[in-house]
Amino acid sequence: MAGTATAAAPASGSVSLPVKVINGEAYVKATSLTAALGGTGTYDKASQTYKYTPADVPSVIKQVAPSVVAIIGKPDAAGGRFELAHGTGVIIKADGLIVTNAHVVQDMTRIVVVTADGKEYEGTRKQIDATSDLALVQIKASGLKPAKFAASPLKVTVGEPAIAIGTPVSFSLRNTATVGVISGLNRSISDDYNLLQTDAAINPGNSGGPLVNMKGEVVGINSMKFVDVDIDSMGFAIPADTVQYVLNQFAKYGKVMRPSLGLELEESWSAVVGLPTEEPMTVTAVVSAEAQAAGFKTGDQIYAVGGKQIATLVELSELLKSYLPGGKIAVTALADGDLVSRQVVLTKSLS
């Protein structure tokens, strides 16, 4: 008979594991245990015992560090030989494909990538998406160790341990690790996508590096773009599912095919200041012929898109990840005092 068993996960509540019940005893696969909780396990045939060693911070860093690179280059605006920009990247393919932040490499005229073993490579920008702050860099290498990304949709818990690895402040400090917790989820500090918040130190140069869980999975790509240097213990990372969304778009189309309703929208006062709200967004301009053809006018109030109630621009951006330009979507709006449902053809976003 099959069922589930619950095991405590380090500092993050519990997880449910598949079990088989034989003669009243519940049996869990050892591989299920290590997959769910991280750590390692070994079976001793002579003693017929299984030794499970929970994941600890040093072992996670050792596991992930070979997949982290340092990136340095000279920006266009630099005036001297020592005015160098630098950041961090994460290997996603063994042949040298690396994901980093867009703001790290967008102005670099010469990109140098240094792997964890100290080897230097010339890097080439492949794709860049400023809206998500993600970019791809290619180096000519083989046999590199790709990082493992957490599955989508991302499942993380406030309070669970988080480790950031990167190149803070100085290029000589590459492969620096800092430890903290996931401090918050679905943080909306821009008009684009939700972010993860962490108290693991995110300093200049950490941009583009991984935020990992205790299973050694990348749960986010750290971004100094969303951090103020005068604020302590408040870092932000682009969630792994947003990273995968952008990478999939790069792979399929060479760029992010980001859809738009063809409307300029204004959030309510409550949404702007961060209060929980169900107040609708207001149309301030109709910018596409498709939206105009659907009947939208300035002053309409948007309550739901694709059957889901939305109140913020970030909620709209997250929802539209599942769509492409040219597709149709239902929009529920208040127009001239009437609640109406309109089908609108999505256009390509200009951002």
Instruction: Indicate which residues carry an active-site annotation.
Output: 103, 133, 207
Report the Cα–Cα distance between both ends of the chain, in Å, rounded: 53
Q: What is the CB-side half-sphere exposure of residue 70 using CA atoms within 13 A?
A: 24
Which residues does 56 contact at the CB level (< 8 Å), separation at least 6? none
CB contact at 8 A, 7 and 36: yes
Question: What does the longest C-alpha to C-alpha distance in the chain come to?
Answer: 79
Phi, psi of 204, deg, nearest 5: -55, 130
Q: State which amino acid sits at residue 112.
A: V
Cβ neighbors of 296 (< 8 A, separation 6 or more) are 262, 263, 283, 286, 331, 333, 335, 342, 344
Task: Report d(CA 346, CA 320) in Å as an integer.
Answer: 10
Name the 3-class secondary structure at 103.
helix
Residues ≥6 apart with Cβ < 8 Å to 248 = none
Best CA proximity match to 148, nearest among 210, 77, 71, 84: 210
Peptide bond into 210 cis (omega under 30): no
Give the phi and the psi of residue 251 in degrees, each rounded to 5.
Answer: -65, -40
Tokens of 277: 């709200």
CA quadruple 188, 250, 262, 284: dihedral sign? positive
Q: In the structure encoding, which two tokens stand for residue 215, read together? A: 């299973």
Residue type, 138: Q
Please state whether beta strands 148-149 and 217-222 pair in parallel, antiparallel, or not at all (unpaired). Answer: parallel
